[in-house]
Structure 1
């Protein structure tokens, strides 16, 4: 009888707790579109870098709440409002309806099959093909023996075109049909490979090693994203370079679309060290805020001391996919040391953004965080200006030594004979620079695997 009473008490307690949780859920009110739109407008009118270019964001535009509400009511969704608030030349601000997924992507966690690829269109024929840039460890692509340099022109037996590749490559599971690309001719092969996406956190330090070429010790770092949760690993890589006594350094950011401004500052301080306390870059905001000066520093985010190499020269490998924080690395070092850029002209992104949440101070942990929705705004809020006043490089940063990747023979990343790395090493050793190589075949980059991430080509400040 005593046991039965205890059991009944346990059941009643469980029901009471469940009922309590249910009541709390019932009391949590889903935010209306107008509430969300009000949050979006408040962020943009306060912080948007191009506020001065949009009259609808002027402080005096809506003198009272009723007029603002009337304006917000003209839009069918938060997305429609956000689009209306963007400056026509803004390619990079964005809105998300799930900030948890965005936070994961900032940490490098995505649905990923491990095949990092680029997409190219042959202008003369209109044909589209993908080429494998690199393969991530412990992924479906590695398990299925996908390799750098592989060419594919079909997904799930459908030929890639300029209009269908987005639909075909966003699926969690698909097969790629292999092909060859020789002398401008794309030839399908019969073989195919099945790939499966899974949740995966990518370490942006893809390769960090010391090469010895003709008795010269050259550090090589292939770095694919400025992500602060891997700053300790980056600092450790520089400790290894230091211990190896490298004389020169090549930083490969050919596929690096950017990331954390703070980590870019750290990397610049790892390369140098002799400029601590001097101006790294100036952040210029809209008319609501004053400029902010960012200085070269001595600590990473954990508080550990930066391992600095005190170099006076660095080589940086770039392509048209090199963007934002990768470009900031180049432009911010240029006033202080010799930066030799090898490869192709970069994208041209000098603006930074920040994540804004619907709370009193717009932070994730701010007072009165609105639990009725998970929208977040990631608008451009600043532009970076280097110590010489250089900014607004909308057409990208042109290389000192121009050379393109050869899609028919990409080579092995980190191998001294790989085209871009060999070009840098030849210049280090004084073996001469190649003449600018003109592509005989007109190819156009139309996309890459990371373009499906919300953080694609972004440069941001932490909250």
Structure 2
């Protein structure tokens, strides 16, 4: 989802994919070029329908950063003293130049908005065929926090990934998983624990502003070292109360690598939580283990993977399909607005990538050369995860979907930094080698697919009664049942007909979009939910 740097030919290809985050072809990488502006702040007079170049206003900030950027080789920050009006005018011109649907954005007077409010309305208001918002992935994030997570894999919090089953009272938040060695994991918090009280406030039912403020302060600590009390019901319906202290945590994007037995042979299973740079080593390790075990099938658990780097999705797709299926084939072609020069397609990367330098190395990736793969999905499966599915389908690798409808994000953006905020605004859509990318309402598992956004598989609800990787857990069991029998589980109580999931970005992407907890953009509110879009 982001800005492509024209480096060398090979570097440009990698950068365009490395940067892609939280989308069916998202990208990543903030603008770290030197400020080209002169020392004289430009005029900020607004004239409807008339746009100056975005570069005119770039890096003129109401509150310039000082010092050096630890995530850009300690180079000085490019900020110059300006005003909020300069930041808004930059957003206006940048949107007009790069936004995929720029001609659907109203040209409102920036003077009527704060900077953050102005950005929020710089998007299309049109709907998809299902009636959902066409653009559900328009958000901004503090630049330091964004870089810390995407480049270093570090996030602040308790180590809990939440699944928000119901965001309005009566609320239902369950623990999806915890990060190893995190405050939550060390306190014995596990998958399936249901949140009931936060600092003594009834999390499920309290709808007062004071209660909501208390809940938000605890769920979203402003920094490390904050201690808050959480009460849960565990999987045995017993009350568990713990005090958790927020900390900087290294995320573990690849977990639970397992070799499982089936009637048809060995099955590899891997829980893949986020397409971030540090996942490359974990995926390579997993694929080597699967290759050594001579697995005949692979189950990739993407149910909480909100997206990230498109290049990583391409690499993993190569590791699944191998040389013969991917040679000279396109993983994803990006489609921009009519003001943007088309870019080269993203190939299936067969080499390791130095993500810190945005260059391909000469080190080959391992591969399994499978002609099918099972993916476990929910409405939190988004962006680069969907690109992984779509890219493999584009080269006729059979994808079998077990679980729920995905979030629906065939779009990408190049995260762009201006004045200590990183902005995410849809800048392209992605299509596979067959030219398909129309899954704005998500991929849907179906016993008898009739449409291109339907995938052969089993429509099953998420199962919080078991830990991830347990062969008896509903989604994994559904995949194993399909491997053994060629059909979905016969227990119809496990089957469902899922409605279109209601999704408003996380990041992815948080996202996921999962650069932070997907809840970051969906704080609890007495209204009953505050949607930061």
Asked if TM exceeds 0.5, the reply is: yes
1:433 aligns with 2:433: no
- 1:398-437 mapped onto 2 (5 Å cutoff): 398-399=444-445, 400-407=457-464, 409=465, 411-430=466-485, 432-434=487-489, 437=493
Cα drift, residue 280 of structure 1: 1.1
Write the deviation string for residues 37-62 of structure 1: whole angstroms up to 9, x where unpaired: 232223212111111222539xxxxx
Is 1:344 the counterpart of 2:404? The answer is yes
1:385 aligns with 2:431: yes
In structure 2, what is the Cα distance between the partners aligned to 1:351 and 1:276?
A: 25
Higher relative contact order (CA 8 A, sep 6+): 2
- Of the three residues 102, 110, 116, the one matched with 1:51 is 102
| 1:121 and 1:445 in contact (8 A); partners too | no
Take 2:98 and 2:220, find their aligned partners in 1: how far apart are those partners? 33
Matched, 1:455 2:482: no
Written as runs of structure 1 = structure 2, the 5 A alignment for 1:12-411 is 30-54=81-105, 56=107, 71-72=109-110, 74-88=111-125, 89-96=134-141, 98-107=142-151, 108-121=153-166, 126-161=169-204, 164=212, 165-171=215-221, 172-179=226-233, 190-214=239-263, 216-273=265-322, 274=324, 275-292=326-343, 293-302=345-354, 303=361, 304-335=363-394, 336-358=396-418, 373-399=419-445, 400-407=457-464, 409=465, 411=466
Quote the Cα distance in structure 1 between the aligned partners of 2:496 and 2:349.
45
Paired residues of 1:106 and 1:455 also in contact (CA < 8 A): no
Residues 250-298 of structure 1: CA deviation (Å, up to 9, x unaligned): 0000111111111111111111122122011211011112443222221
Shift of 1:213: 3.0
Distance 1:313 1:243, change over 3 A: same
Query: Runs of 5+ in structure 1 lacking a partner?
Result: 1-20, 58-70, 359-372
TM-superposed deviation, 1:248: 0.6
Q: Is the 8 A contact 2:462 2:475 kept in 1?
A: yes
Q: What CA RMSD, in Å, does the superposition of the two structures yield over aligned residues?
A: 3.1
Deviations 1:133-184 (A, max 9, x none): 21211111122111222222111121114753545422343222223689xx
Matched residue of 2:380: which SS? coil
Change beyond 3 A, Cα 1:300–1:233:
same
- 1:307 CA displacement: 1.0
The 8 Å contact of residues 276 and 297 in structure 1, kept in 2 or not, is answered as no
Uncovered stretches (5+) of structure 2, i.e. residues with no partner: 1-66, 68-75, 126-133, 355-360, 446-456, 516-533
After superposition, give the CA deviation of every residue in 1:51-95 in whole Å (9 maximum; x if it has no partner).
Answer: 1222539xxxxxxxxxxxxx44x2342212212322123221223
C-alpha offsets along residues 320-357 of structure 1, whole Å, 9 cap, x if unaligned? Answer: 11111111111111132110000111111111111223
Instruction: Report the alpha carbon displacement of residue 402 of structure 1 after superposing the two structures with TM.
Output: 0.9
Q: Is the 8 A contact 2:98 2:339 kept in 1?
A: yes
Moved more, 33-42 or 159-168: 159-168
Alpha carbons of structure 1 residues 454 and 308: separation in structure 2 relative to 1, 3 Å? closer
Q: Which moved more, 1:232-241 or 1:254-263?
A: 232-241
Per-residue deviation, 1:127: 2.2
Q: CA deviation at 1:453?
A: 8.4
Distance (whole Å) between structure 2 residues aligned to residue 78 and residue 52 of structure 1: 21
Change beyond 3 A, Cα 1:438–1:155: same
Q: Which one has the bigger helix percentage?
A: 1
Structure 1 contact 298–306 (Cα < 8 Å) conserved: yes
Separation (CA, whole Å) in 2 of partners of 1:444 and 1:352: 21
- The CA distance in 2 between the partners of 1:229 and 1:246, in whole Å, is 24
Point out the structure with max Rg over C-alpha: 1
Contact kept? 1:317, 1:421, Cα under 8 Å: yes
Distance, in Å, in 2 between the alignment partners of 1:93 and 1:445 is 18
Q: 4+ residue runs of structure 1 moved beyond 6 angstroms? A: 438-448
C-alpha separation between the residues in 2 aligned to 1:308 and 1:191? Answer: 44
